[in-house]
Amino acid sequence: MSIHIGGLNLGIPAVLAPMADTSDLPFRLVNRSCGCPLAFTEMINARSLSYGGKKVLKLLDTCPQDSPLGVQLLGREPEYIRKAVDVLNESGRYELLDLNAACPVRKVIRRGEGAALAKDIKLLGELVKVMVKHSQTPVSVKLRAGWDADNRNVCDAALAVQDAGAVCVFIHGRTCSQQYHGDVDYELIGAAKRRLSIPVFVSGNVFSAELAQDIIKKTACDGVVVARGSFGNPWIFSQIKALFSGEVLVEHRPDRAALVAMVRRHFDMLTDYDPRTGHVRFRKVFSWYIRYLPGARHFRDKIFRSRSQSEMAGLIDDFAGECA
Ligand SMILES: Cc1cc2nc3c(=O)[nH]c(=O)nc-3n(C[C@H](O)[C@H](O)[C@H](O)COP(=O)(O)O)c2cc1C
């Protein structure tokens, strides 16, 4: 199967979403181990990146197995976007540069960034032009359906970024005011696809391989963006691959041994990557993996009470024992 973004050949019609406080290097590698063909960093504030602070540069951590990688920028000031692109050009360790025009968080939209860019399509186009002009890699944009129910202007926004030189758009089919709840407007994304010549990827409620297939069928889009559907379920990528290769899916969840092995692997990677607070960050990760199992709530309480790496390792052993 040939699915391209810029010069990248993905092989399957699915990418891993940029997600704040989630899309770290271990998370991306775990998903890649199940066949994810393209992953993104979480959104990175362009102004902070242009100052080059240690904390923000950490978000660019990557490795040879973490490729191809998309880096997502957040901002609205052309001069800081330009400076951030300069920093990225020097790092040279990514293949796609994305602009966040989708984040609905209040402190972000108050600054006129993220999803608020839907209210200023001219500026949105200008920012993309700056990125296209200075970036060494192709540029994409993540958009929302619009600002609110009365302003679903994603078709115009997508046309503006296409005219400005973007090679792909990722569209979350909810408005900014919907945040992460309520219906996803797949019809609107389908309408945007019909008006664009660049690839369009759909974001919103991609919780299984079958849903991915339905969404692609109903929108005629090029692929999907997997976000919350990857939580504790990196296998969604191998299932998408199987489904699009014509296989019939039988098992939805991995067997217990595979689940335990993935939990251990994710824990080891996260604590190696972040020895100081990796075990704390693992609390939410562990709870994703067990959420469909009987007794999950009780076990989850223990996970969130654990205070050290060794205590967390002990809980993983208990979990493995219960699964044996
Ligand atoms: C925890 C979390 C963090 C997110 N952070 C970002 C982000 O940094 N940049 C972005 O473009 N979208 C971000 N999103 C939005 C997702 O990329 C995706 O568009 C959205 O969750 C809808 O997909 P879903 O319904 O399949 O989860 C985030 C979503 C979640 C759940």
Question: 244-262 as b/e, with b when 16 or more CB fall inside 10 Å?
Answer: beeeeeeeeebeeeebbeb
Query: Do the Cβ atoms of 41 and 60 come closer than 8 Å?
Result: yes
- 66 and 156 co-located in one domain: yes
pLDDT at site 117: 98
Question: Which of 182, 210, 244 corresponds to the end of one domain?
Answer: 244
**Is residue 103 among the annotated active site residues?**
yes
CB 140 within 8 A of CB 100: no
Ligand 1 geometric centre to CA of 252 (Å): 23
Q: 255, 253, 279, 257: which is closest to 267 by C-alpha?
A: 279
pTM of the model as a whole? 0.97
What CA–CA distance (Å, rounded) separates 78 from 255?
A: 49
pLDDT of res. 324? 67
Exactly one of 34, 36, 103, 221 is catalytic; which is it? 103
Query: 310-322: per-residue pLDDT in tens?
Result: 999 999 999 998 8
Ranges of residues in the chain with a pLDDT under 50 are none
Same-domain check for residues 44 and 146: yes
Pairing of strands 4-5, 8-9: antiparallel
pLDDT on residue 94: 96
Question: Does 14 reside within a domain?
Answer: yes
| Mode of pairing for the β-strands spanning 200-203 and 139-146 | unpaired
280 in the same domain as 237:
no
Is residue 155 in a domain?
yes
| Contact of 260 with 323, CB cutoff 8 Å | yes
Its domain, for residue 277, covers 256-323
Q: Does a structural domain hold residue 251? A: no
pLDDT per residue over 24-48, tens digit each? 999 999 999 999 999 999 999 999 9
- The C-alpha atoms of residue 215 and residue 47 are separated, in whole angstroms, by 36
Q: According to the model, what pLDDT value does residue 266 have? A: 98
pLDDT value for 1: 60
Q: Using the atom order of ligand 1, give the atom closest to the CA of residue 172.
A: 19
